[in-house]
Every structure is written in structure tokens, then in C-alpha cells.
Chains A and B, each alone.
Chain A
Amino acid sequence: MTGMRISNEKSVGTSVLPDEARPLLDGEARFLNDISFPGMYHVAFLRSQYAHARLRNVDVGKARELPGVIKVLTGADLFGKVDPFRSMPNRFSGGESVQHWLAVEKVRFCGEAICAVVAEDRATAEDAIELIEVDYDPLPVITDAREGEKDGSPLVHDTCPNNYLIRRDYKRGPVDEAFETAHLTVKRSFSIGRKQALCLEGRGCVAAFRKDGFELSVWMSHQLPYVVRHYLAKHLGMAETEIRVVAPQTGGGFGQKASIYPEEFVCTYLARMLRRPVKWVEDRFENMVASTHAREQDIEVELALDKDGRILALRSDVWVDVGAYSTYLWSAGMEPLQTGGLMPGPYKVPAFQYSTRGVATNKTPVGPYRAVGRPSASASLELLLNEAARKLGMDAAEIRMRNMIRQEDMPYRNANNLVHDNVGYMPCLQMALSKASYDALRAEQGKPSPNGKLRGIGVACFAELTGLGTSTAVGPGTLLQPGRDAVTLRLETSGVLTIAAALPSQGQRIATAMRQVAADETGIALEDISCLTNDTGMAPYGFGTFASRTAVFGSGAVIQAATELRRRILALAAFLLDEPEDRLAIVNSVVQTVDRSKTLTLRDMAEHSFFSAKDIPMELNQGFEVTAFYDPKHGSFAAGAHVVVVDVDPDTGAVEIVRYVAAEDVGRLINPAVVEGQIIGGIAQGVGEALLEELIYDEQGQPRTVTLADYLVPSALEVPRIELHHANTPSGALGGFKGCGEGSIIGALGGIACAVSDALAQRGGDIHEFPATPERVLRGLGVDFGDD
């Protein structure tokens, strides 16, 4: 390390107030729909009313004649002109499946885009949509994964037998022997409904084409601007350098804005064709049917245990209804592979087997969403552990402790081939139990309830792989193998620092976090540092924000770039101050000697080096702009343990969460308040997943939940106060950071599911289907509704 580090007041680890939030509080932040240009046209899409049908004829004549309509584009107009989205077949999947930007010949789910209408305003475009006449020839519909995989079922894609978009069978260790010789085997089924991210802001894009500067400028509500740029170039046949992609303020992402969808690409095509800016903003109905869904799984899971409750083997079968298409870039493997492969979580599993399938159905495609695949994997195993514990006469917490990967076991390679290190599973569990006064909760549970409610206590522990480097595969069939990101640090002519990175924020305060890391690493005062995170025209290459990776990658790259930047600053300052470098330090944007006898502000140094550099030797004035890539190679495990207490009303089936204690290990904290917001926000979405949110289809594949009155997300009344505690173990990544955006939703589903099941067990009941709607809860208690 060059130069002495005189300790600044550390910024990392403190809840620095996020300046980036200020415009949001003034209504001045610029979201996608807030961007407009003179002469801009508006786009609306005609969407399929059938889940599966052949398109006999699409008559757009009347729509074209409506005053104010500029253009009506059909699938036939695009056919052969743009490259459709193709899945990447591999040894785990069926053949290639193709998704056209606008349907050609067939539609495969309700909501699939058939035509795009361009008009002077959105309402007129929607008027024109109503004038398009589509002659559908309905085809047999598949709405269930286990039906769909049967031989002879109708095919969603002719190229994919048994409707498998993906299938994988995995086995490691002596599984069969374990089940044959085990003291106890337990088995249960688990299912979780279809849900969606429900970003409060839908998707959308503004595309502008102009033969000046960047030919195609695209503002898109998206998590991965650089990836979008690459694929736009590829599909439109343009050079990447001709395209600029900007992710403006984004109203939630949660993975739903990490995929590539047809609508935005159609808009870029239209902008280029019409030589006019065009805008499309997804409305809530479209968001319900045309943005990726998540979950919808059936799981059968089995454990073999010895007499002390130790796991000998874990075996599971997983069916995921992945919808009509292989989500572009991420594939249909997201949920199936992660649910199957990551089920062991924080527990030692010596032998492990799973079969997992992603089955195509005539529903909206399933794509990435917060903690892909893991909540159901974890919840199904946690519920099964409870069942095993009951049979062994053991407490639910005790069986978890007996199986947990402990510090002294690490590094520990589990049977799913993942290595656990630098992670505190036991400290999380112990903290959660002690903060919740678990023993007292159990004692109280044994007493008769004063209000007739059934009390249940759930304990769930999870492992969450974050910050995946290049050595960790995302999944077979995925077109992306992320794992490196760059950050540029640039000392401006006035001595302030700009951080540029393609790591857009959807509210995670990434700019603030990176400023904090940069302040500590460079010695530049926090208020002298600004951060750009969203513009391919200005930032170095980065994959973007997803998979609990951004803090790890951004910070790692900042640390590396800062090391070099500081070296350059101190080398020049040593020359200008005529002092040896090792007597200098940067403190609060000032280079100073240890005794502070000599000082040089970064402003003076920067101005000097940029504007009057003739007295500075060339080798000391190499510019103050440094780009560094960071690749942590492996991921870092984060962890958590949640203790949830619920009261179940045995008359109505209503579940009320009366207490929620969470202990989490998310590594070294950059900004604790921000981290807590991520964790609590994840738990809230887990409350929805466990109790409320479900996208429901009828047998004809018609979506029945297309408004926020039917699709129920938690309000302030359903989310309890979360008692959050930290049990952090630094990761092996630079800075010791881990990701924290996803893990808590895993613990929430598991914890709430276990608590509800525990409550029902008091009357000999149980529950296997989630979300735990009041009706399912009562059925779990054996209430007979008579006529159905």
C-alpha cells in the first residue's frame, strides 16, 4: 500500500443519509414515464385473448384508418426482419423454442403481444387496439405442469417433447442406501402458487433514433442496461457503439426487469422505422399478463435421518410451471434448477438427489424474481424437518442445530457441490432464538389461548449465495454468465470524484453505498463524491443489478480502482509538496503530511495537474481516471434465521403474524439502515408469498387475477413489525461484503409456512399448499365445506 492511511472517520458501517433519495421526495426524480420528447409517439399492444390459438387472420384495416394512428405493426411485418428470441438448447432441455416479438402464426399465452399500434397519444392507440379484428383458431390448452409433461399432452412448442423446456436429474452420494437403512424417513408434498414481482412502476421504454451521436438512444426501466445494449445491437443488426441505453429512476425491479422482453425491442424497431421517439409504458393489466411471473411449483421431498435426527440423504422431485416461453437470456431453468439444486441450504446433506422439470404451459413465462427458486426449496425442507422432529420427539430448533453447517466444519462442500465458508448459520439461529425468547414462546404456546386462536411458532434457517463470480454457474441454458463488473473513478478538474458504473439502483441506494466505500478507500470526503450508475453512454461495462451482487461487485471494483487512484494522487502530491509519499495521507479531500505541516487540497492538485501541468513530470501525471474490474470468482454465502409467531383463527382461517424475529448474516454492512430496508422489504414480499399473493388461471388459461383488487400484495396491516438483528460474518470478497437483497424472502416463506403448520398441528392439521389462504388453512384443519 502506498502512503500511510490516517484513519478518516469511517463511512462504511454508518447509516449515511442517501442524497440520491432527495429528488424522490420532491417529485423531481425522473422515471421512465417522466421522459418525453416533442413529437413523441405512443405505443400500445394488442394482446392475445386466448391462451393457445392459431392466428387465422389479423385485420388491422379499421385501426389504421383511425385518426391519430400512425402505424400498426404485426408479427408478419417483423417476420424475417428481426431475429426472434431463441432459447439455448442444452443437454437438460428440449429443443429450441422461439419467441417472436409479435406473435406469428400462434399465440401461446393470454397477453402475448400480437400487434403494436403507434398513435399520437396512448388513449388513441388503445382505441385503435379495439378496432383490430383477430380470427383465432383455439388450440388445446395446458395449464398444469404435471399434466403437461405426460406423454400425449398437447405441446406448447412442437420442438419440446413432454413440454420440457428444461429437465435435470442429479444424484450424488449413497442416496438409495440411506433411504433403505435410515432410522426414519419422512416425505411430504409442498406447492407454491404463481406470483409476480409487482413492481409499483411497470416496465417501459422510450426509444429515439437520430443519425447524430448515438443513433439509437433507449431509456428503459431495466436492471441491466449494458446487457440490453448488447442484445439490441445483435437483434437489430446494429453496432453496439451506435446504441446508448439508460436506466432512469426505476420503480422496483426485483428481477422482473432483468429479462429481455419483446415490447421494448419492438419500440426500438419502431423508433428506427418511424424516425420518431416512441414511448411505451406498461399499464397494470399488461404487467399482470406480460411481465414475467415466478414460482408455481409442486415439490415432493423426502428425508432419511438417523435416530439422532441427522440427515443422511435428501431427495426431491420438482415440477415448475414455467409458462409459454423460455425467458430470454435467463432461460426456463431459473426456478427449476435453483429449487432442485439449492434445497440443502445451510444443512449438511451427505447424499442428495433431485429431479427437476420446467414444463411449458399456456401461461405467462416465468422469469427471475427475488430469491429465484430458493423460498420454496427452503420452505419445503423446513416443513419436512419439523415433521421429522415431531416423529423423533425433538424440538424444531434442535433438529436444525444438529444438521447445521458449523463454523468449525468450514470450508464445507455439501452434496450439491457448493462450498460454504465465511458464513455464520449457527450464530444466526442462536441469535434469533435468544432474541425471540424461543423457550418462553414454546412454554406459552402450551397454555390455552385466551382468544380461541391457534398459536404457531415457525423457525426457518437459510443459506443464500450472493455476489456470484465467474466460477459460479448461474444455470445450464442461461445465455449469460455474469461475474465481473467495472467501476471507473475519475477525479474531476475541481478535485471532486465521480464514480461511474453500470449498476443501476431500484432503490437499493447503490450510489450511496459506493460513495461510502470510495470515501473510505480514497480519503475523499463523502460530499465530494458523486455516482453515476445507469448509463451505458457514460459508465464502464457492467452486468447490472440482480442476484444480490451489486454491493459486492461495485464495492470490490471501487476498492481496486481506489487503490490505484490513491497511488497516483499521492505520487503527484509527493512531488508537489516535496515530501516522501509514505509521509502523506488523504484526509477529507486534502493531501497532508502526518504532522499536517504541509497540505494540498485535491482541488488545487487537480487544477494544477489539468490546467498548468508543464512543471509536472509526465510519469506523475497519467490522469486521474482509473477503471477496475472486479470478479470475486466464487459467491459468498449469506445466512439468516427467522422465528415467526402466528395466530390462526380456526373459524375463518385467517392468519395473523403476531411476532417476527430475524437474525441475518449479510457480511460487513456498508449502510446499516439501507441493509435493514432491504431485509425488511424482502420479508414483506415473503409475507405476500406465504399468505396472500397468487396469480390464478382458469382451465382455459384465462388469467383471473389482473387487477390489484384480485392480486393481493401486503399492505401495512399484513406486514408485522420486524425485529431485526445482525449476526454478521465478513465474506471472503474484497471488503468482506455480501449481498442482502434477496435472502430474507427465503426465510419469510419458510418461517411463516412452518408457523402456520405448527398452529394447525395443535389440532392434528397441516398445510401443504401455499399461499396459506384462509380457505386452505381451514381445509388444513379438516373443515368440511360440504358441497365442493
Chain B
Amino acid sequence: MAREKAIEVTVNGITHRKTVSVRTSLADFLRDHLYLTGTHIGCEHGVCGACTVSVNGKAVRSCLMLAVQADAKQITTIEGLRDENGEWNEMQKAFFENFALQCGYCTPGFLTSAIELLRENPDPSEAEIREYLSGNICRCSGYQAIIDAVQAAAAATRAQRQA
């Protein structure tokens, strides 16, 4: 009758050992147990995309995964996006320079999804970006600046690779 379970989770390169209630979502675990409050909760039923984080290199809704399921997994949250030199990655930079966020509540999910998109498709068209990001809701921007930012990040990343 175990209502709690010990888990070992690596988040942004740091391995944490914690005991959690089995009903705690990964989103709540990241926020309340690891104090990584950059992951935002917008609906808790998997539609808005704000809580999207990367688990073993794949974007997932952290509200639809239990913390206990993250045992032995590698997780990246928005707090872990800066590179080894402490610099913003291209997507963060592009979001900033393109005014791609207003209230910023949806931003962590968009960054995670957009980074995964560019991993799968380094040169997406506007239509492809819109389709890929259609599972993330932004209520402020009208999406246009986000699309522009993803295209800018894609161009910057391609330029870097060629250099």
C-alpha cells in the first residue's frame, strides 16, 4: 500500500533523489519538489501545452505524466536551456529578439516544442511551424511573432552548422 515512492530523476543535468506521492504529476514534482517553477501549468488535461518539457529527448506534457514515471529519466526544462557557457540557445534568443512572448506563461512549452521541431526539421516552412506548434496555446501574441522567432532560430542554427 505504498502511496509514496522514491525516485531518481535527472533534471537539467542534476540528478535528484526524492520521495514523492504516487499521484503527483511530473509538472507538480518539478515545480513543488525541485522548485523549478519555470514549467507552467495551464490546464492539467493536456491541451494547452504550457507544461511541455523534454523527457529523454522527447517533448511531453508534464501534466499527463506521473512523477514516479520519470524515475531514471533525463528531463530538460526551460531552466536548463542555456548552453554550457551560460548563453541563451538560439530559440531563447530568437524569442527575445522577435518579441515572441507577452505574458510569457506559454513560453516554456513553446520553447520545448519549437526546439524539438527544429531537431526533426531544421528548415520548416511557416505552414509546418504552425502545424507543429498547434498543440501549444498562446493567448497573447496571435502566434505571428512566435512563427517569426522559430524561423529566425532555424536560420541561425543552420548558419552555425555551416560555419
Using a CB–CB distance below 8 Å, which chain A residues touch chain B?
15, 17-18, 21-22, 24-31, 33-34, 36, 123, 197-201, 249-252, 254, 283-284, 506-509, 673-674, 676-677, 680-685, 707-709, 713, 715-717, 719, 721-722
Contacts and interface: CB of A to CB of B under 8 A. Distances in A.
B37 A33 contact: yes
Contacts of B137: 200, 708, 713, 715
A716 B143 contact: yes
Contact of A681 (B43, B88, B141): B141
Contacts of B105: 31, 199-201, 251-252
Nearest to B107: A24
Nearest to B38: A27
A465 B99 CA distance: 26
B47 to A, nearest CB: 4
A283 B102 contact: no
Given A31-B37, A677-B141, A716-B143, A24 B106 contact: no
Contacts of A685: 139
A24 B32 CA distance: 18
A284 B41 CA distance: 9
Per CB-CB distance, the 5 closest pairs between chain A and chain B, nearest first, are A27-B38, A507-B102, A24-B104, A251-B105, A507-B103
Contacts of B19: none
Most chain B CB inside 10 Å of its own CB: which residue of A15, A36, A201, A717: A201
Interface residues of B, number: 57
B79 A28 contact: yes
B13 interface: no
Interface in B24-41: 24, 31-32, 36-41
A33 B104 CA distance: 14
A200 B92 contact: no
A722 B45 contact: no
15 contacts: A18-B99, A27-B37, A31-B40, A199-B139, A200-B48, A252-B105, A507-B102, A508-B102, A673-B145, A677-B141, A681-B139, A715-B143, A716-B146, A719-B144, A721-B147
Contacts of B143: 684, 715-716, 719
Interface in B1-56: 21, 23-24, 31-32, 36-45, 47-48, 50
B135 interface: yes
A309 to B, nearest CB: 34
A21 B105 CA distance: 11
Contacts of A200: 40, 42, 48, 50, 103, 105-106, 137-139
A395 B120 CA distance: 49
B103 A717 contact: no
Contact of A680 (B21, B32, B144): B144
Contacts of B36: 27
Could you say which of B42, B96, B131 has the most chain A C-beta atoms within 10 Å of its C-beta?
B42
A169 to B, nearest CB: 37
Contacts of A681: 102, 139-142
A677 B146 CA distance: 10
Given A684-B141, A708-B45, A25 B101 contact: yes
Given A22-B96, A28-B79, A200-B137, A33 B47 contact: no
A26 B38 contact: yes
B125 interface: no
A24 B50 CA distance: 13
A677 B96 contact: no
B147 A716 contact: yes
Contact of B96 (A17, A198, A721, A722): A17
Nearest to B148: A721
B121 interface: no
B75 interface: no
Contacts of A17: 96-97
B102 A29 contact: no
Interface in B75-115: 77-79, 81-82, 88, 92, 95-97, 99, 101-108, 111
Q: Which of A18, A27, A284, A509 has the largest number of chain B CB atoms within 10 A?
A: A27
Contact of A27 (B77, B96, B145): B77
Nearest to A711: B47
Contact of B108 (A27, A199, A680): A27
Given A25-B111, A680-B141, 17 more contacts: A17-B97, A25-B95, A26-B92, A27-B36, A31-B105, A200-B40, A680-B142, A681-B142, A685-B139, A707-B43, A707-B45, A708-B45, A708-B47, A716-B131, A716-B133, A717-B134, A721-B144
Given A507-B102, A721-B126, A25 B96 contact: yes
B7 to A, nearest CB: 18
Given A21-B96, A284-B45, A707-B43, A26 B78 contact: yes
Contacts of B131: 716-717
B70 interface: no
A73 B133 CA distance: 43
A127 to B, nearest CB: 10
Contact of A252 (B41, B77, B78, B103): B103
A719 B126 CA distance: 12
Contacts of A713: 137, 139
A721 to B, nearest CB: 6
Contacts of A29: 38, 104
Contacts of A508: 102
Contacts of A123: 21, 23-24
A713 B106 CA distance: 14
Contacts of B40: 31, 200-201, 251
